[in-house]
Structure 1
Amino acid sequence: MEILSPSQWLQSISAGDEILLVNPPVSEVRYAWLKWNQPSDLLLLSNKLKEVLGCKVELLDFMLPDENGRVPNKDYNLKHINGINYKTRLYGTPLDKITKNLDKMSSVWKPNHIVITSLTSYWYEPIIRIIPLFRTYFPEIKISLIGAFPTIETEEAKKIGADIIVNDFFDFTDTIQDFSIYSQETTKLLNDNKELSFGGIKYTQTNTINNIQKQINSLLESKIKNIVIFEHDIFNEDSFILNELLDYIEYNNININIHGLCGIDPSKAKGDIYQKMIRNGFRSFFLEYDATNNELNLDSYKKAYYDLVKFNPIKKIASGNLAGFLMIGTPDDELESMFRHSFNILETCGSLIPKPYTPVPGTVEYKKAINDLGLDKISPHLFPFAEINGISRTDYKDFYQHAAFLNEKRNGSAFNFFDDSHTSISLRKSLSKKVGIL
Structure 2
Amino acid sequence: MRRRILLVNPPVLAVDRVQVGLYAEALPFGLLQIAAHLRDGGADVELIDMMGYPDRDAAGALRSARRWGRKPAGDNATRLWRDVFLYGRTMRWLQRRLGGTAAPDEVWVTCCIAFNFEPAHEVIRLCRERFPRARIRFGGFYPSQFPEQARTSGADEVYRGYYSPADGVFPAIDLLESRPPIWIFRLALGCRYRCSYCSNALHRSEVIFDPAAVAREILRLRMQFGVSEFSNWDPNVMLQEQVLESFLARMAAAGAPAPLKFEMGIQPDRLTPPILARMKAAGVVAMTIPFESAEPAMMRRFGKPYRMKDAMDAVALARESGFDTSRFHCTWVVGLRDESWRHVFRTYFGVLKAGGRPTPFPLSPAPGTREYARHEPYLRGKDLSELNGHLWPALPSRARVLLYDRVFAIINQPDPRRAARLAADLPRDAREAFEREHEWYLAGPHRRGDAVDAPEGKP
Q: TM-score range with shorter-chain normalisation?
A: 0.7 to 0.9
Question: Structure 1 residues 156 and 147 mapped into 2: Cα distance closer, same or farther (>3 Å)?
Answer: same
For the aligned residue pairs, the C-alpha RMSD in angstroms reads 3.2
Match of 1:4 in 2: none
Q: Is the 8 A contact 1:121 1:149 kept in 2?
A: yes
Q: Does 1:152 align with 2:160?
A: no
Match of 1:24 in 2: 10
Q: Does 1:397 align with 2:405?
A: yes
Query: Whole-Å Cα distance in 2 between the matches of residues 266 and 214 of structure 1?
Result: 28
Aligned residue pairs, count: 402
Query: Whole-Å Cα distance in 2 between the matches of residues 334 and 114 of structure 1?
Result: 48
Q: Deviation per CA, 1:293-338: give whole Å up to 9, x if none.
A: 23683432343333322x234xx527x4123111223466333222
Match of 1:85 in 2: 81
> Displacement, 1:174?
7.2
3-state secondary structure, aligned to 1:431: helix
Q: Is the 8 A contact 2:292 2:333 kept in 1?
A: no
> Displacement, 1:155?
2.4
Residue type of the alignment partner of 1:382: L
In terms of fraction of residues, the more helix-rich structure is 2
Residue type of the alignment partner of 2:50: F
Query: Whole-Å Cα distance in 2 between the matches of residues 422 and 177 of structure 1?
Result: 55
Question: Structure 1 residues 371 and 398 mapped into 2: Cα distance closer, same or farther (>3 Å)?
Answer: same
> Displacement, 1:172?
1.7
Question: Structure 1 residues 335 and 427 mapped into 2: Cα distance closer, same or farther (>3 Å)?
Answer: closer
Residue type of the alignment partner of 2:410: H
Out of 147, 162, 167, the position equivalent to 1:170 is: 162
> Displacement, 1:354?
0.6
Question: Structure 1 residues 435 and 337 mapped into 2: Cα distance closer, same or farther (>3 Å)?
Answer: farther
Query: Whole-Å Cα distance in 2 between the matches of residues 281 and 288 of structure 1?
Result: 21
The unaligned stretches of length 5 or more in structure 2 are: 189-206, 300-305, 448-459
Out of 251, 254, 260, the position equivalent to 1:252 is: 254
Out of 331, 339, 352, the position equivalent to 2:358 is: 352
The unaligned stretches of length 5 or more in structure 1 are: 1-14
Query: Whole-Å Cα distance in 1 between the matches of residues 298 and 215 of structure 2?
Result: 39
Out of 151, 154, 163, the position equivalent to 1:161 is: 154
3-state secondary structure, aligned to 2:85: strand
Pairing 1:264-413 to 2, within 5 Å after superposition: 264-291=266-293, 292-294=296-298, 297-309=307-319, 311-313=320-322, 317=324, 320-330=326-336, 333-363=339-369, 365-366=371-372, 368=376, 371-387=380-396, 392-407=400-415
Residue type of the alignment partner of 1:263: G
> Displacement, 1:25?
0.8
Query: Whole-Å Cα distance in 2 between the matches of residues 111 and 279 of structure 1?
Result: 47
Pairing 1:100-111 to 2, within 5 Å after superposition: 100-104=96-100, 106=101, 109-111=102-104
Match of 1:50 in 2: 39
Query: Whole-Å Cα distance in 2 between the matches of residues 233 and 147 of structure 1?
Result: 20
Question: Structure 1 residues 419 and 298 mapped into 2: Cα distance closer, same or farther (>3 Å)?
Answer: closer
Out of 180, 203, 207, the position equivalent to 2:187 is: 203
3-state secondary structure, aligned to 1:293: helix
**Structure 1 outlier segments of 4+, above 6 Å:** 67-71, 408-411
* TM-score relative to the length of structure 1: 0.80
Residue type of the alignment partner of 2:47: L
Question: Structure 1 residues 321 and 208 mapped into 2: Cα distance closer, same or farther (>3 Å)?
Answer: same
Out of 214, 229, 232, the position equivalent to 1:229 is: 232
* TM-score relative to the length of structure 2: 0.77
Question: Structure 1 residues 387 and 267 mapped into 2: Cα distance closer, same or farther (>3 Å)?
Answer: farther
Question: Structure 1 residues 171 and 144 mapped into 2: Cα distance closer, same or farther (>3 Å)?
Answer: closer
Q: Deviation per CA, 1:338-360: give whole Å up to 9, x if none.
A: 21111111211342001223345
Residue type of the alignment partner of 2:26: N
Residue type of the alignment partner of 1:66: P
Q: Is the 8 A contact 1:35 1:65 kept in 2?
A: no
Q: Is the 8 A contact 1:65 1:194 kept in 2?
A: no
Residue type of the alignment partner of 2:42: G
Percent of paired sites with the same residue: 18
